[in-house]
Amino acid sequence: MTDTTLPKPIAGLSDIADRYDLFVVDQWGVLHDGAKPHPGAVEALTRLKATGAPVALLSNSGKRVADSYRRLEKLGFDRSLYDLCVTSGEQVHRGLRDRTDPFYAALGPKFVMFAWDPDRGIVDGLGYQEVAAVDEADFILCAGTDRPSLAEYEPVLRRALERGLPLTCANPDRVSVQPDGSLKICPGAIAELYETMGGTVRWHGKPGRDAYDAIRAETGIRDGAGLGIGDSLAHDIAGAAGAGMDGLFITGGIHRADLPDPATPGSVAALGAEHGAVPAYYSAGFTW
């Protein structure tokens, strides 16, 4: 790798913001940690919106967009600071509602759900029936995790595989950073395990291109230069690259233990290569 292809460190978004016509920003790990905003993040989003370029928040949250609105408002991110918000959970809701996708059209009405909490907004009003046992289900809806280890899901997944149940994944993240800095398994890890076992999985969210295309269509910025900002190389940076955008990698998120402090162009490039996505830029945090 030559110096010209190494990721460039930036002090903040003000170094590069004037080069782009569209910004796609991750939530968890970039704007906040689930409990509080990251230092400088509210100001950075405010300044980014003031550039006049559309700002879209794109999250692999397994919940609907309304949940993101509530959480962001509570954490100090006013609705006026971004133009739109897209979540993978909302994409699943639309798939289950519209049933135009062959995967969803073929689903029966009964499902087993893996979730963080009792919230069932992703299926409310759609006519599906949640059941307690895999033996009664037509499919698995994977939107959260309620068990501490992946191994605890294996017996359930094994039985689901025997029955040929498809699984729809509303959050493709494998891990997330908790407020105390620890990592927690996410639905994507369960879906990946099921797929490895031979199960059928319908993925939504980053790094898939659907959400990026929807953002370009809604903002009207179909051909302009875009910048994807996130802390996950495999999701945010790979997703941006797949959508024809540059990537700004936030090193203080889920990969912070994988990098020296401070990160270097070479270390970021090497880690990016491991995950199949080398960013154009990197910064310790989402700051202006």
Q: Which of 114, 235, 228 is nearest to 174 (CA)?
A: 235
Residues 56 and 96 in one domain: no
Domain membership of residue 102 (yes or no) is yes
- Between CA 83 and CA 66 the distance in angstroms is 14
Domain membership of residue 50 (yes or no) is yes
pLDDT at 180: 74
DSSP state of 253: S
How many folded domains does the chain comprise? 2
Residues 217 and 178 in one domain: no
pLDDT at 244: 96
- Between CA 113 and CA 115 the distance in angstroms is 6
Instruction: Identify which has the larger pLDDT, 122 or 117.
Output: 122
Q: For 196-237, how does the pLDDT look when each residue is reduced to its tens digit (9 = 90+)?
A: 999 999 999 999 999 999 999 999 998 889 999 999 999 999
Q: For 161-209, how does the pLDDT look when each residue is reduced to its tens digit (9 = 90+)?
A: 999 999 999 999 988 766 677 778 899 999 999 999 999 999 999 999 9
Residues 148 and 230 in one domain: no
Q: Which of 163, 122, 118, 117 is nearest to 139 (CA)?
A: 163
- Between CA 184 and CA 194 the distance in angstroms is 18
Q: Which of 203, 235, 257 is the last residue of a domain?
A: 203
pLDDT at 130: 98
pLDDT at 176: 76
Domain membership of residue 120 (yes or no) is yes
- Between CA 161 and CA 219 the distance in angstroms is 41
Cα 170–Cα 210–Cα 283 angle in degrees, nearest 5? 85
Coil, strand or helix: which one is 86? strand
Non-local CB neighbours of 52 within 8 Å, separated by 6+ positions: none
Q: Which of 179, 203, 227 is the last residue of a domain?
A: 203
Residues 193 and 217 in one domain: no
Residues 99 and 199 in one domain: yes
Q: Rounded to two decimals, what is the model's pTM?
A: 0.90
Instruction: Report the b/e string of 27-42 with b at 16+ CB within 10 A.
Output: bbbbbbbeeebbeebb
Domain membership of residue 267 (yes or no) is yes
Q: For 235-258, how does the pLDDT look when each residue is reduced to its tens digit (9 = 90+)?
A: 999 999 999 999 999 999 999 999
Residues 167 and 95 in one domain: yes
Domain membership of residue 29 (yes or no) is yes
Domain membership of residue 159 (yes or no) is yes
Q: Residue 267's domain spans which residues? A: 3-60+212-283
pLDDT at 1: 36
Q: What CATH number does the domain containing 265 carry?
A: 3.40.50.1000
Res. 2: pLDDT tops 70: no
Residues 178 and 249 in one domain: no
Residues 123 and 183 in one domain: yes
Q: What percent of the chain has pLDDT over 70?
A: 97
Residues 179 and 276 in one domain: no
- Between CA 99 and CA 96 the distance in angstroms is 6
- Between CA 120 and CA 64 the distance in angstroms is 10
**Six-digit token pair at 246?**
């540059």
Domain membership of residue 288 (yes or no) is no
Domain membership of residue 67 (yes or no) is no
pLDDT at 5: 81
Residues 244 and 168 in one domain: no
> Average pLDDT, whole number, for the chain?
94
Q: Which of 153, 176, 203 is the last residue of a domain?
A: 203
pLDDT at 147: 87
Residues 219 and 197 in one domain: no
Residues 184 and 228 in one domain: no
Q: For 31-84, how does the pLDDT look when each residue is reduced to its tens digit (9 = 90+)?
A: 999 899 999 999 999 999 999 999 999 999 999 999 999 999 999 999 999 999
Q: Quickly count helices (H) and strands (E) in the chain.
A: 9, 14
